[in-house]
Amino acid sequence: MRPDGTVVIAGAGQGDFQTAASLRDGGHAGPVVFIGDETGLPYQRPPLSKGFLQGNTAGTELRGRSFYERRGIELRHGRAAAIDRAARRVRLADGSTLAYDHLVLATGARNRTPPISGTALDGLLQLRTRAEAERLRARLSAVSQVSVIGAGFIGMEVAAAAVKAGATVTVVEPLGRPMARSLSAVTSAYVAELHRSHGARLLLGSSAVRLHGGRDGAVEGVELDDSSRVRADLVIAGVGVAPATELAADAGLKVGDGIRVDAFLTTSDPDVSALGDCADFPSVHAGAAIRLESVQNAVDQARCVAARLTGTPAPYEALPWFWTEQFSAKLQIAGLGRDHDRTTVLGAPATDAFSVLRFKNGRLTCVESVNAPGDHIAARRVLASGNTPCPGEAAEDGFSLRDWAAHAT
């Protein structure tokens, strides 16, 4: 792309912001315009399910207004409604159009609604946007019985916040353990025990089938698949997201579980890139096309796209990492732990500080660290280097990830 070309970015979230900032860092001199359908300045979502719900509402914006003014980045409020790829124009919902030399799609994802009856009742909330977090925070201070449907990352973080707000909390989850799709059994069991020790009730292996309400249309309880009921004056659904792909699909771009991109994050149209929660990309770490929902992924993919557009193309190969905070536990995950055949635990869950090393076919693929930030940083270095310990080495007395990182990377 020409250094003075126009880059239009659809979306104004984490990845969109980073694309714009990194384009300027990389010396892009042409117009950079991003289109956001939320109000206000771009903000980060992680605090919304953590400190924000406990009243710590400051500092969610990624940058103040002057940052965009100084760097010549234009933020348009509105919804990107259609792409005319032949003319290289984006049409906004208000009918205006924007010409682009390159278009970046970082439209994120939207919460799924649980497929149960009663979801129109007042008192079922979801959490994705700051507006939803504000509503949830206000409701949490006024209710006593909270049910959380889904024990994924967001569900468990919100459950912890609701307990801290003084509510009686029940989490309903069809799988047998919390965050089961991402965590080893050891870490999952630790998280379950942590919540129980703070008074939360976990109904694992149970599915919500219906919400019940009173005459006033307000939710009163959740019916489970065994016909029992859990009382609730607030229900929070955390049942996953669907990538926002309709803009791409309507424009004829290839879409799978997200907008399909190649190793350089280019879509099936060389003038259009996609990144972040909405992008289905070939992962060298998974050995397959995947979609990831994390700040690391959105930020590093944005940097990768900006580098390509400013003349230093490289395939996207960054090591995935994630984090969550629940009660006093900070859990950090390096690598992808979707599957493993062996684990080694460093430290002990009983001490509230430990790491679980997950191996597949003799290779270290993922390290989960609870209150062990040094292990996490070392794990990122070790996994990124490819020079990883085998299960036998990690099981030896005195094995330390930090020592391994110091000597082997």
What are the residues binding ligand FAD (CB under 6 A)?
Answer: 10-16, 35-38, 45-46, 48-49, 79-80, 106-108, 127-128, 154, 244, 247, 276-278, 293-296, 298, 322-324
Query: Dihedral through CA 40, CA 240, CA 145, CA 143, nearest 10?
Result: 10
How far, in Å, CA of 335 to CA of 290, rounded? 13
Q: To the nearest whole angstrom, how small is the minimum distance from the Cβ of residue 266 to ligand FAD?
A: 17
- 3-class DSSP assignment, residue 228: coil
E strand intervals along 233-278: 234-237, 241-243, 255-256, 258-260, 272-274
Helix-, strand-, coil-residue percentages of the chain, each rounded to 5 = 30, 30, 40
Q: To the nearest whole angstrom, how small is the minimum distance from the Cβ of residue 393 to ligand FAD?
A: 30
* Closest CB to ligand FAD among residues 250, 317: 250
* Closest CB to ligand FAD among residues 206, 285: 285
Q: To the nearest whole angstrom, how small is the minimum distance from the Cβ of residue 85 to ligand FAD?
A: 15
* The two three-digit tokens of residue 383, written as one number: 């996994």
Measure Cα distances from 227 to 10, 279, 400 in Å.
45, 39, 49
Q: How far is CA 238 from the centre of its chain?
A: 12
* Closest CB to ligand FAD among residues 81, 353: 81
Burial of 85 by CB count in 10 Å (0-12 exposed, 13-18 middle, 19+ buried)?
middle
Q: To the nearest whole angstrom, how small is the minimum distance from the Cβ of residue 107 to ligand FAD?
A: 4
* Torsions phi, psi for 138 (to 5 deg): -65, -40
Q: To the nearest whole angstrom, how small is the minimum distance from the Cβ of residue 14 to ligand FAD?
A: 4
* Torsions phi, psi for 176 (to 5 deg): -80, -5
Q: To the nearest whole angstrom, how small is the minimum distance from the Cβ of residue 299 to ligand FAD?
A: 8
Burial of 274 by CB count in 10 Å (0-12 exposed, 13-18 middle, 19+ buried)?
buried
* Closest CB to ligand FAD among residues 123, 276: 276
* Closest CB to ligand FAD among residues 206, 324: 324
Q: To the nearest whole angstrom, how small is the minimum distance from the Cβ of residue 301 to ligand FAD?
A: 8
* Torsions phi, psi for 344 (to 5 deg): -130, 135
In the bound state, the residue with its beta carbon closest to ligand FAD is 13
* Closest CB to ligand FAD among residues 12, 379: 12
* Closest CB to ligand FAD among residues 98, 394: 98
Q: To the nearest whole angstrom, how small is the minimum distance from the Cβ of residue 155 to ligand FAD?
A: 10
**Nearest one of 246, 256, 258, 239 to 15, comparing CA atoms:** 258
* Closest CB to ligand FAD among residues 255, 394: 255
